[in-house]
Amino acid sequence: MLGAQILLGFQFHGAFQERFDFLSPQAKISDATALVLILISVGLLIAPSAVHRIIDRGESTGRTLVITSICAAASLLLFAVALGIDLTIVLMRILQNAVLGFASGASLALMGLAAWYGMGWIMKSHHGAPERHQAASNRGVTETAPLHSRIEQMLTEARVILPGAQALLGFQLAIVLTDTFERLPTLSRLLHAAALMSVALSVVLLITPAALHRIVWAGEDTEAVIRIGAPITILALLPLAMGMAGDSFVVLSRVLGSMVPATIAASLVLLCVIGLWFGWPFVERLQRRRGLLSNETFDS
């Protein structure tokens, strides 16, 4: 998550640097592609927390571990591609050689893919069979963890999301003081203000459960912490999604020099994160509820 947050910060800040305008059109399109990929990557990394809260109600399930593994694997793929693109853009400028810069960036991306996927697939044929079998057998198992563990899980999920929101908020505050921001169209500046307020609200909400836990209950364990804190953590994802999509439009419209592709790309980002954080969990939760009702009706 930390690596994705750092790369996301570079993506947002880079478009407002003085030398960005000297990049080639191909480099700018590549930069826009990398931005969309890293935003979706961050969305995938946050998705397991939403699934755990909305579908599993904070219960410890084998299925949650499987979903976390799948989302992490998909996120790493997008992260590797985005990292390769960004390294290519930077190394082309440093080395003043397009071929050498592309080869260097692509090599690093392939090394990442080999380390994260290739090595695992090779080792899989010789190691880990008992553990994989155990994980598969526990997929449908649900356990109610001790209260202290459930509170820590909820607070940890908020802490995982919070740095990404803080990194985005830092970018939003900093670019207002740049000359480039002054040259943005009025629509982009107003949208940036709305995105800034959205992300600031998300940060406030993400900090709230920990603050309440300390101030109201003096850090002691009580079901009220989860009952109040879990919905607040989920609610914080909505303004975060709006802020990510809003500023992705601001950055992409500058990078691409056109509002139409920027609108399409920002809409894609919004649909992906809303779908991952809310659409998928709520649809599956509704299907699970209908299945339970059907079973109860059949048993009756």
Give the model confidence (pLDDT) of 89-146 as tens digits: 989 988 888 889 899 999 999 998 998 888 888 888 777 777 767 766 766 666 677 8
Q: Give, to the nearest 10 degrees, the angle between helix 186-215 and helix 147-175.
A: 150
SS3 127: coil
pLDDT at 264: 93
Token pair of 32 as six digits: 């826009």
Q: Name the band, by pLDDT with cuts 50, 70 and 90, for residue 245.
A: very high
Q: How far apart are CA 212 and CA 204, in angstroms?
A: 12
Q: How far apart are CA 111 and CA 113, in angstroms?
A: 5
Phi then psi dihedrals of residue 176, to 5 deg: -60, -25
Q: Tell me the H-state helices in the chain.
A: 2-14, 25-54, 62-95, 98-113, 119-124, 129-137, 147-175, 179-182, 186-215, 223-256, 259-274, 280-299
Adjacent-strand bridge partners of 142: 61
Nearest to 240 by CA among 209, 198, 192: 198
Q: How far apart are CA 235 and CA 237, in angstroms?
A: 5
Adjacent-strand bridge partners of 60: 143
Length of the chain: 300
pLDDT at 235: 94
Q: Is 227 exposed, middle or buried (0-12, 13-18, 19+ CB in 10 A)?
A: exposed
Q: Name the band, by pLDDT with cuts 50, 70 and 90, for residue 248.
A: very high
Adjacent-strand bridge partners of 227: none
Q: Is 258 exposed, middle or buried (0-12, 13-18, 19+ CB in 10 A)?
A: exposed
pLDDT at 135: 67
Q: Are 31 and 89 in contact (CB under 8 A)?
A: yes
SS3 222: coil
Q: Please give the residue that has the higher pLDDT: either 142 or 245.
A: 245
- Please give the average per-residue pLDDT across 21-26, as a whole number: 86
Inform me whether the pLDDT recorded for 153 exceeds 60: yes
- Please give the average per-residue pLDDT across 259-288, as a whole number: 90
Inform me whether the pLDDT recorded for 212 exceeds 90: yes
